[in-house]
Amino acid sequence: MVVGVLVEISNQNVDRVFEYHVSEEYTSQMKVGIRVLVPFGKMELEGFVLEIKEKAETEHALKDILGVVDSTIVLNSELLELGKWMKEKTISTLISCYQVMLPKALKAKNGSNISIQFDTYYRLNENCSLEGLNSSQKKIVDLVLEKEIVSRKELLGISSSSLKTLLRKNILIEEKKEHYRLVYKEQDFVKKTLTPMQEKVVDSVIHGEVKPYLLYGVTGSGKTEVYMEMIDFYLQQGKTSIVLVPEISLTPQMVQRFRERFGDRIAALHSALSDGEKYDEWRRICRGEASIVIGARSAIFAPLENIGIIIIDEEHSDSYKQSDPAPRYHAKDVAIERSHYHHCPVVMGSATPSLEAMARAQKGVYSYLELPERVNGKGLPEVEIVDMNVAMKKSRGHFSPTLLSQIEDRLGKKEQVILLLNRRGYSSFVTCKNCGYTFKCPHCDISLTYHKSSNTLRCHYCGYGEKVYTKCPSCGENSLNNLGVGTQKIEEELSEIFPTARILRMDYDTTSRKGMHEEMIASFQRQEYDILLGTQMVAKGLDFSQVTLVGVINADTSLNIPDFRSSENTFSLLCQVAGRSGRAEKKGSVVIQTFNPDHYAIRLVQKQDYPAFYETEMNLRKQLKYPPYYYLCSIRISGKDALLLFDEAMKIKRSLERNLENVIILGPNSGNLFRINNIFRYHILIKYRKEDALYEILPKIMDHYKTNPKIKVDIDFNPSQMM
């Protein structure tokens, strides 16, 4: 028997199938999709069996495989095909595509460290005599007789020598059963009756066409409830589901709601789980013991059979795109590809859909669904925008009088407050502390980034540069800075102003310990705190009934991130956080402090007017030739020799120009990460409308450089940020 094996080595050169001979002792275990150990040069490597055949194609003498790593298949035929598709789509190695699908515990270098844990059980040998047992042996036998099967734990405290004797005499039989590290308890659950609007959305999907759906539902419109109802429908038909969430450790409340309803049919692929726990969850999925998988990006590769529906919550989130390392895939594309195989719908939900998704919905590529109202019938919270250019003078620390008086009001009423300190994009750009002025590229409308080494401001899309000013060109003040304030500082100010308020600070520092985040959310829910102060993590998915005020301390920072999506991301962040207010009986309000009260991304948050934002932003994207009018593809060229690098980058650019029509090619330019660890990098950005020609030329370029040790070329389609 001969097998074709893809070895686990990340090297463009080796990314193909090698043939090995299978000796007699292993032939019965051979299956496509298992891993084997093979000799490779002087190394021993693990690899995936991709084909089994009688005869080799090569004339060379074949080496023998050295062993079998898995007794069961780790990549089924669907996932094997999916990997090939992903390789083509992202122009990356096949092995990297398979590796990204598997839990870390299964990766070659980790395999030996993470074990499957077993529990030991005993049952009675039916063909044995029970004569002549002593009292302690009899005690064990009686227990086993009564319960049929008894675990070692249940026998603690009983003489272990008696147990050994019983085993030796073949009266008891020992059995090993896999033990999962996580245990879930059944919970009480009262099903909610869907509103007619929710009902309609559910019906459209489960009885409608099998295709992708975009669900635009304002915050608190009951999207999560809708997802669960759809999942339940497919569950009743014996089908499975995948639910993607942006960052699962940040959405404990959502997972909790799923657990209440579906118990241990859920497998949650948490980033906070240990590798061992993840491995256990993955095995439960493989065995069909879990039929609903909730997780972040890579959960899209869950080895489920018979998928009934794939749900992508917070569809607009850039966490669904893997930027580094390759394969640079988008979970949404993978979801749609898997849905073709399973012939199932994909539902993408958001209160602020990405422009790409909305544009596709308008073209009919996706079906469009909406939940335009909140479940509680109270309407969206009232939003007040505070112009800090004016309010600054009367502020205490970073708090305007408006925000302070509202906080005071809620403290008095024993209602809760969420405060957001927007730290997205801190310190990469230069802004004026006095007037909020930010330097932008005149060609790309992107914030310029400060480059310390050359003391210049640069556009990292097109390379435009200008010298650094000391005075603000707008107000003339000497107050340019690129440093932001931290949550700790805000907490100090707050406790000085409201000495008796109980403040809970939530940021990456205070939540680094495992389980801390969940604990904080639970204690805020129990109303042990009055104010929850935090970074972006307080904006997502939280559902507290007592929160009636949301305050945004600084709306602007994310507006200045050097990214063409900065307005979209800001609008979306502000709508998300605003959506935490007034979700239950009491109506909520929101106060947003900003230096740019007239910026459309902020102004339109006032009515949480997504349609108007969409229209405005689409116009700009059209003018500046950004997605969704043009697609982007970023090419990164990196290496140690900066001069050589630039030459090669220019060659690549010229070759692109010769081979592509109707595209715009920017660069090569060095990003704000020009040099990392003495590796230099250049970027070329391609704006294109049709991908066919790109898929011809780019693999050729990759091929050309794959044997060149001095130059590394990486490709990123639809980059979520510049590499």
Footprint of ligand ADP on this chain (CB under 6 A)?
192-195, 198, 217, 219-225, 375, 543, 583
Contact 592, 399 (CB under 8 A): no
Select from Zn ion, ligand ADP, none the partner in contact with residue 224, using the beta carbon and a kind-dependent cut-off of 5 to 8 Å.
ligand ADP
Nearest-approach distance from CB 461 to Zn ion, in angstroms: 5
Backbone angles phi, psi at 707, to 5 degrees: -100, 5
- Of 58-66, 358-366, 439-447, 609-617, the segment contacting Zn ion by CB under 5 A is 439-447
Select from Zn ion, ligand ADP, none the partner in contact with residue 459, using the beta carbon and a kind-dependent cut-off of 5 to 8 Å.
Zn ion
Closest to 420 measured CA to CA, from 294, 577, 305, 267: 577
Closest to 715 measured CA to CA, from 651, 637, 645, 658: 637
Nearest-approach distance from CB 464 to Zn ion, in angstroms: 4
Select from ligand ADP, Zn ion, none the partner in contact with residue 217, using the beta carbon and a kind-dependent cut-off of 5 to 8 Å.
ligand ADP
| CA 525, chain centre distance (Å) | 25
**CA pair distance 167, 144, nearest whole angstrom:** 13
Contact 326, 89 (CB under 8 A): no
Select from ligand ADP, Zn ion, none the partner in contact with residue 595, using the beta carbon and a kind-dependent cut-off of 5 to 8 Å.
none
Among 194, 290, 293, 459, binds Zn ion (CB under 5 A): 459
Nearest-approach distance from CB 459 to Zn ion, in angstroms: 3
Closest to 501 measured CA to CA, from 509, 491, 486, 511: 491
Nearer to ligand ADP, 222 or 597 (CB): 222
Nearer to Zn ion, 374 or 621 (CB): 621
Number of residues this chain uses to bind Zn ion (CB under 5 A): 7
Select from Zn ion, ligand ADP, none the partner in contact with residue 192, using the beta carbon and a kind-dependent cut-off of 5 to 8 Å.
ligand ADP
**Which whole-number Å values give the CA distances from 114 to 34, 105, 110, in the listed order?**
18, 6, 7
Select from ligand ADP, Zn ion, none the partner in contact with residue 461, using the beta carbon and a kind-dependent cut-off of 5 to 8 Å.
Zn ion
Peptide bond into 628 cis (omega under 30): yes
Helical packing angle, 610-623 and 355-363, nearest 10° = 90
Among 443, 607, 625, 675, binds Zn ion (CB under 5 A): 443
Residue corresponding to tokens 């490779």: 40
Nearest-approach distance from CB 652 to ligand ADP, in angstroms: 45
Tokens in use for 579? 């959506």
Nearer to ligand ADP, 376 or 456 (CB): 376
By the rule CB under 5 A, 462 interacts with Zn ion? yes
Nearest-approach distance from CB 361 to ligand ADP, in angstroms: 18
By the rule CB under 5 A, 441 interacts with Zn ion? yes
Nearest-approach distance from CB 609 to ligand ADP, in angstroms: 17
- Of 329-337, 456-464, 528-536, 605-613, the segment contacting Zn ion by CB under 5 A is 456-464
**Which whole-number Å values give the CA distances from 490 to 307, 407, 424, 496, 552, in the listed order?**
47, 14, 16, 10, 12
**CA pair distance 210, 204, nearest whole angstrom:** 10
Beta strands in 103-167 (DSSP E): 117-124, 150-151
Closest to 686 measured CA to CA, from 647, 632, 607: 632
Select from Zn ion, ligand ADP, none the partner in contact with residue 225, using the beta carbon and a kind-dependent cut-off of 5 to 8 Å.
ligand ADP
Contact 447, 560 (CB under 8 A): yes
Residue type, 306: N
Select from Zn ion, ligand ADP, none the partner in contact with residue 562, using the beta carbon and a kind-dependent cut-off of 5 to 8 Å.
none
- Of 16-24, 462-470, 547-555, 607-615, the segment contacting Zn ion by CB under 5 A is 462-470
Residues of the shown chain interacting with Zn ion in the complex, contacts defined by CB under 5 A: 441, 443-444, 459, 461-462, 464
